[in-house]
Amino acid sequence: MISVETKYRRLVLVCTNCREDGRECCMAKGSVELHAKLKEAMKAVAPDVRVVKTGCLNACATGATVVVMPENVWLGQATEEDIPEIVRIATL
């Protein structure tokens, strides 16, 4: 294993998991579209904050789930309307 240099100072995780058994999941709550639009918005103002898709973060009932790392800020019921606030939190 090696240590890798990165230009990123933060990660924003967006759960895009789909649970095909009918249980609640973030994909069913628009998280794929949320991820795509949040990624574009973040790139425009903070290219050193990486927005990434993740699998299930085990907060399905309150999805769509977004987590800002390394601060470990968990956001639930996130929608595209929340993108400006997510960007604000991730660029403090």
User: Which parts of this chain interact with ligand FES (CB under 6 A)?
Assistant: 15, 17, 19, 25-26, 56-60, 63, 65
Residue 39 beta carbon to ligand FES: minimum distance, rounded to whole angstroms: 17
Q: Specify the residue, 58 or 72, whose C-beta has the smaller distance to ligand FES.
A: 58
Residue 4 beta carbon to ligand FES: minimum distance, rounded to whole angstroms: 27
Distance between the two ends of the chain, CA-based, in angstroms? 32
Q: Specify the residue, 59 or 73, whose C-beta has the smaller distance to ligand FES.
A: 59
Element (H, E) at 85: helix 83-90
Q: Specify the residue, 46 or 59, whose C-beta has the smaller distance to ligand FES.
A: 59
Output DSSP code: residue 83: H
Nearest in space to 32 (alpha carbons), one of 52, 43, 16: 16
Residue 32 beta carbon to ligand FES: minimum distance, rounded to whole angstroms: 11
Work out whether strand 10-15 and strand 49-54 pair parallel, antiparallel, or are unpaired: parallel
